[in-house]
């Protein structure tokens, strides 16, 4: 039964990833902890493995098509490598209620931002396609293009990329999330990468940073249940394929609002299970 549930829950997480383009891993931790009754820290390790493995499959395809900005991957991933062990260490010192409470708070913030963005810019795409002009978002990008049309890695640009990678790595190690919900906006809004490039570039970053978080958890906590890990990942691959097809038929703002509502449902679920809220 647990194997079937792992496949089903993996498909739910992958479906969210395919529908919204980012943030599917936000559902992985609650599903593992409350649905499969896996200890929190082991669930984080499984989430990292499933998220990184799913992103790796997509990254290989995008790399072969030449869509990935390799220099950006190197900068962001290296910074993420530094953040992941620190997130793992922080998670080891948090009680389950504090860890899940912090995770729920992150989901609340993201759901509000996504809903507001959908209302503010009805022409915007879903989270993985988030992009916009300086006029739309009121911020000037830290990066620009050089004469060859490549990203000009000025000190300000490099700093933005490195900070984004570090924060992503920290959250990855702490919660087991992939970080696409942070990386894609950073690459499109702050680094001014074209949307399709940001999307493609985020996948190897998620795979590498998630891999770093997974290794740090292996070193400190050992191997999680391999059967649950593999079946959850396989379910995620099936879910992301279905979600991707469904996403093509829905408008971007509507997808963002659906995803925001799903986050609120997950937050309510966490509140009921941890504190009897609701």
- Check whether 241 has a pLDDT greater than 50: yes
Nearest CA to 12 out of 24, 3, 2 is that of 24
- Domain residue limits, the chain: 2-275
Give the H/E segment covering residue 260. Answer: helix 252-275
- Check whether 278 has a pLDDT greater than 60: no
Select the more confidently predicted residue: 144 or 173: 173
- Check whether 231 has a pLDDT greater than 90: yes
Percent of the chain scored above 70 by pLDDT?
A: 73
Rounded to an integer, what distance in angstroms lies between the CA atom of residue 214 and that of residue 208?
A: 10
> Tokens representing 234?
């396989």
What confidence score (pLDDT) does residue 127 get? 40
pLDDT-derived band at 230, boundaries 50, 70, 90:
very high
- Check whether 208 has a pLDDT greater than 80: yes
Burial (Cβ within 10 Å: 0-12, 13-18, ≥19) of residue 251 = middle
pLDDT-derived band at 124, boundaries 50, 70, 90:
very low
- Average pLDDT of every residue of the chain: 76
pLDDT-derived band at 67, boundaries 50, 70, 90:
confident
- Check whether 75 has a pLDDT greater than 70: yes
Please tell me whether the overall predicted TM-score, pTM, comes out greater than 0.75 for this model: no
Mean pLDDT of all residues in 12-34: 74
What confidence score (pLDDT) does residue 131 get? 37
Indicate the DSSP class of residue 100: H
């Amino acid at each position: 039964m647990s194997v079937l549930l792992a496949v089903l829950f993996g498909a739910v997480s992958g479906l969210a990833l395919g529908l919204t383009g980012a943030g599917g891993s936000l559902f992985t931790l609650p599903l593992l902890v409350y649905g499969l009754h896996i200890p929190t820290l082991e669930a984080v390790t499984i989430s990292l493995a499933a998220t990184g493995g799913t992103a790796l499959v997509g990254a290989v395809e995008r790399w072969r098509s030449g869509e990935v900005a390799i220099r950006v991957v190197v900068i962001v991933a290296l910074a993420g490598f530094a953040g992941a062990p620190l997130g793992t260490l922080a998670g080891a010192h948090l009680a389950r209620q504090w860890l899940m409470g912090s995770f729920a708070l992150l989901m609340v913030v993201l759901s509000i931002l996504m809903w507001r963005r959908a209302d503010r810019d009805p022409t915007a795409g879903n989270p993985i396609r988030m992009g916009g002009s300086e006029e739309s978002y009121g911020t000037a990008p830290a990066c620009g293009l050089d004469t060859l049309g490549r990203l000009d890695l000025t000190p300000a640009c490099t700093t933005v990329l490195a900070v984004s990678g570090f924060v992503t790595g920290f959250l990855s190690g702490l919660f087991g999330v992939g970080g696409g919900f942070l990386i894609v906006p950073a690459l499109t809004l702050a680094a001014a990468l074209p949307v399709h490039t940001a999307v493609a570039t985020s996948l190897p970053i998620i795979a590498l940073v998630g891999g770093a978080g997974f290794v740090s958890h292996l070193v400190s906590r050992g191997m999680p249940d391999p059967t649950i890990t593999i079946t959850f990942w396989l379910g995620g691959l099936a879910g992301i394929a279905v979600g991707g097809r469904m996403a093509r038929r829905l408008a971007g703002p509507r997808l963002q609002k659906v995803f925001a509502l799903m986050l609120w449902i997950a937050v309510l679920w966490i509140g009921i299970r941890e504190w009897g809220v609701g």
